Structure 1
Amino acid sequence: MDTDRLPGCYRHPDRDTGIRCTRCERPICPECMISASVGFQCPDCVRAGSGTGHSPAANAPRTLAGGVVAADPHLLTKTLIGINVAVFLAALAAPALAVRLALLGRYVEFLGAPVEGVSTGEYYRLLTSVFLHTEWWHVISNMIGLWVIGGPLEAALGRSRYLAVYLLSGLGGSALVYLLTEPYAATLGASGAVFGLLGATVVLARRLRYEMRPVITMVVLMLVLTFVPLGGHFTVSWQAHVGGLITGALVGLGMLTPATGRNRTVIQGVTCAGVFLLAAAVILLRTAELT
């Protein structure tokens, strides 16, 4: 018997955890952690203490990052998957849509007509390309990654903070692609955002004092696969993967900083604003080079 193994969450026995409820001392996983004035409490203890006379807002269950605990902690992940699949199907039905949404630095000719790019003011491409796929295996692999990595992270952060990590990671990956790749080459896919969720997951595991080797192994494996030539007409964008990973880790650090109340909200807001401005600076720098 392995005596060094961490106990399992009292609601999810298959999830090892080193965190315990400050009231009943039962082990709790990130999905069951609810921020309290000191440490974390389990959902049962929060419900038991809901009649203490405090305001509903004060008694609202909170995630590890301070977000409100939702009835369905994976709803936003499901919604993002639905959006990606819907855009994929729309692009299959109308190939011209893919050209309008893909990340393209400078215009190219498509069906005899010029298509503008980011450098001519179509900055929306930096985010629309994150939801675009044109191959079925590409969208399936990215959506599996989004579900496996994103679901637990959404439960730990809360919806709004999780969405901030996803969108900023996608933007960060696109910014690095725009900076370092050939401006006439189209780039698309959610992998930059998924890598960002992975970067934030590393920060989460560190915050919860989990065994880091499995998480680091996953990061290394995914990066190795990023740089392995696949052949054919498809090329993996290492710029999107690396840019997303770094961005997600930076945003995750801000989201999971050990702070409470207003201080935590300020730190999270400043972090998101800082990362956005850094990405914007990279984008404007590249635009100046191309115009």
Structure 2
Amino acid sequence: MGKRILVTGGAGFLGSHLCERLLQDGHDVICLDNFYTGRKDNIVHLMDHRFFELMRHDVTFPLYVEVDEIYNLACPASPIHYQFDPVQTTKTSVHGAINMLGLAKRTKAKIFQASTSEVYGDPEMHPQTEDYRGNVNPIGPRACYDEGKRCAETLFFDYHRQHRLNIRVARIFNTYGPRMLPNDGRVVSNFIVQALKGRDITIYGKGSQTRSFCYVDDLVDGIIRLMNAPDDVTGPINLGNPVEFTIMDLAKMVIELTGAKSQLVFKPLPEDDPMQRQPNIEKAKKLLGWQPSVALRQGLEKTIAYFESELSKGRF
């Protein structure tokens, strides 16, 4: 028999894929979202499923439902969105964690926190392992997200120690795929949208900074494996693709796959933008038997096809 599972941020890019997978696995899913960055289009195909329920709710307010498991994904995750209302971003991470941990404590539910590679800041260690404590600017423009997520991790481990809560924490690295927002300011969606619209592709800095890109299906598999791991596997565990690409490599691949005639335009690097970001996933390999299987070219082809479909419907 399936579990009753709450997914906060369930109408977002990552949350909608997770809801879909949990339904496929036979669970009863409550999708919770305030639709700040989530979209009904992402979950409309699930609405008629008899084990799917949608709730419009903001995690900064308490919630009273009966559940077996909670996946806490609620928080805008792209710089454009989380910097638009930085106070609310911090509240979503901190108050949201407190409210969901309180719900888990009351219902004795297992709870997962979607943390982020941003807790490492602009790293002085490469690649990043889970015991690296990071290089974060606590008063910079990205701090609302970076420090909010760091505080959420603190709360999760304090609830674990103080209340014996069954927790899981994943530090998620760059993830891409269908249902990304076209205007979210992330590099994959930016490049694809610019290429499909025949615009020049904007590169910040020299394009030599590196990122590691994980396809969404791989990431969802890692999240579920972590949630289903033995109770002593709390994390934090890095989830991401360790294969590193420069931003320039990505731009050239997008131009090739879209057949665009876009030129490259260079602009100054934003403040506190990390130069390197690559996960060490040895812990995930050892404890979860997990590693990504979708190559960047293969994942980009699927993502481009999604954006082409959205463009043909006039959605951006």
Q: Normalising by structure 1, report the TM-score.
A: 0.28
| Structure with the higher fraction of residues in helix conformation | 1
| Structure with the higher fraction of residues in strand conformation | 2
Q: Normalising by structure 2, report the TM-score.
A: 0.26
